Chain A
Amino acid sequence: MAAINRVLRYDGIEDKLDSPPQPTDLTDAFKLPSEQHHGWKFLAFGPDGKLYVPIGAPCNICEPSPNHAQIRRYNPDGSGMEVVARGVRNSVGFDFHPQTRELWFTDNGRDWQDENGPEEELNRVSQPGENFGFPYCHAMGIPDQDLKKANPCEGTTKPVVTLGPHTAALGMRFYTGQMFPAEYRDRIFVARRGSWNRTQKAGYDVVSVKVSPDGKEAKIEPFVTGFLDEGANAFWGRPVDVMQMPDGALLVSDEENGAIYRVSYSR
């Protein structure tokens, strides 16, 4: 469990849910930065057994320190830290492709540059240390309006696809279940929490993204909608994460209502 820079490990927790033990404190081992802004963590173990940890830039737009705006992986004890992705403004969701086992992640674009962008990103990491653009290059090659540099997108990797203007693309998972129709296999479900920095609200839904394993093709389709009333420009739900159940149903968490929904399929 991580809370900003604190890292805690609860051993054998499934058998002790009624009376959790004191955690082992690994904060000093992981040495995460303590800035709170964009500092809250989504964690997951990769197929390589390492713990993957994103660290957001502690700002809307700024030159990040060498310790921010990145995704790291560690051994479970905090040793062996490697930066696997740079130029990541703030990622709150990632998963590993079921076939290629590569890391794919969502990234939230900056505010206050434009009503319609730069859009949130869906990125694929094909080699460790890859640079995804922040702060100079956003989305599909949009230069930052405040931090200027010659050839701002040089040496950076573009997203597989963009996920809408200010929609706050957060939790994502590859679908590997048997319950949904076969066409959903290896698709990505993405929760979009919804915009604050846009006059006309956008997001507030779950989309599915059909992708080729090499990231060259992507198609976005709506999956769970209805939380946003576009006509009234008002919302009543904010999906933030998705998880797949053992039977293949999809769980969706909604922070606005403090709810978790289960989406199932039957013929």
Chain B
Amino acid sequence: MGGPLRHLRVPWLAALAAFWAHGAAAAGDVERGSAKAAQACAACHGADGNSTMENIPSLAGQPETFTTLQLILFRERVRDVAAMRDVARPLSDDDIADLAAYYARLPPRPGPGARDPAKAETGAALAERLRCATCHERNYAGREQMPRLAAQREDYLLHSMREYRDNQRAGTDTTMQGVLYGVSDGELAALAHYLAQLR
């Protein structure tokens, strides 16, 4: 792995530990989060947290811990995504806690696009084989630091899975890279379709 660790300015685990020690995550303020989201996030991620923009993820219904962690990773440039740099840099710990609390409570809405039954079935079988539900839950709503996959944008799911498979992105550990190693593009596309179509 090159990118994220090279830019490591604050070890992410220490940052996260400090964040929680401060108590911010326990008391994210949904109202403050709503205001902050309207100002800093909605333009790309959608007014209701459901993204209508290509390759930009929906945030509605993402587990609070997941959003908290990702915002810290973006802010510390451990996860370095150009579009998130300027947005994440000024966020305080309280901002992050508020945003995570706010987005976790928004109802996810699946994107447009017709369901391809054959593709969805292939994807379902793959999800079974790769045991996705052991972490992401049977309804793929995610939990703790593991994201909601159900009703996420299909293009973004495919993009993310490709990054994990191709060693371009790490989570808090390398589980996703291990799980997706050797999975073909066609298989990832079927998985993405299956998950995006889940209600």
A interface, CB within 8 angstroms of B: 3-4, 34-39, 58-60, 62-63, 112
CA distance A38 to B170 in the complex (A): 13
Which residues of A sit under 8 angstroms from B92, Cβ to Cβ? none
Query: Could you tell me if A63 and B174 are in contact, using CB atoms closer than 8 angstroms?
Result: no
**Nearest-Cβ distance from residue A108 to partner chain B, whole angstroms:** 12
B5, A59: Cβ atoms under 8 Å?
A: no
7 pairs across A/B with beta carbons < 8 Å? A4-B1, A34-B2, A37-B177, A37-B178, A38-B174, A39-B1, A58-B177
Interface of B is mostly: loop
Q: How far is the CA of A36 from the CA of B1 in the complex (A)?
A: 6
Question: Is the C-beta of B167 less than 8 angstroms from some C-beta in chain A?
Answer: yes
CB of A36 within 8 A of CB of B179, answer no
Given A35-B167, A112-B131, verify A58-B178 contact (CB < 8 Å): yes
When chains A and B are docked, how far (Å) is the Cα of A37 from the Cα of B164? 10
Partner of A63, one of B131, B175, B179, B182: B182
**Contact between chains at B179 and A39 (CB < 8 Å):** no
Contact B178 A34 (CB under 8 A): no
> Is there an interface contact between B181 and A37, defined as CB atoms closer than 8 Å?
yes
| Contacts A39-B174, A112-B131 given; does A34 touch B1 at CB 8 Å | yes
Cross-interface CB contact of B174 among A3, A37, A62, A112, cutoff 8 Å: A37
Residues of A within 8 A of B175 (CB): 37
Which residues of B sit under 8 angstroms from A60, Cβ to Cβ? Answer: 178-179
**Number of inter-chain CB pairs below 8 Å:** 36
Once the chains bind, are B182 and A62 in contact (CB under 8 Å)? yes
User: How far apart are the CA atoms of A36 and B179 in the complex, in Å?
Assistant: 12
Nearest A residue to B6 via CB reads A6
* A39→B170 CA distance, assembly (Å): 12
Closest to B164 in A: A37
Q: Name B5's closest neighbour in chain A (CB-CB).
A: A3
Decide: B182 and A34 in contact? CB cutoff 8 A.
Answer: no
A31 smallest CB distance to B (angstroms): 15
CB of A36 within 8 A of CB of B174, answer yes
Q: In the bound complex, do residue A36 and residue B167 qualify as a contact, i.e. CB atoms below 8 Å apart?
A: yes
Contact of A34 with B181 in the complex, beta carbons under 8 Å: no
Q: How far is the CB of A35 from chain B (nearest CB, A)?
A: 5
Q: Within the assembled complex, what's the spacing in Å between the Cα atoms of A209 and B126?
A: 41
> Which of A35, A37, A62 is the most central at the interface, judged by chain B CB atoms within 10 Å of its CB?
A37
What is the distance, in angstroms, from B168's C-beta to the closest C-beta of chain A?
10
CB-based contact A34/B131 at 8 Å? no
- Among B169-189, those with CB < 8 Å from A are 170, 174-175, 177-179, 181-182
Contacts of B131 in A (CB 8 A): 112
A38 close to B178 (CB less than 8 A) = yes
Complex Cα gap A35–B169 (Å): 11
The list of the 5 closest CB pairs from A to B, nearest first, reads: A37-B174, A37-B178, A59-B181, A37-B177, A36-B1
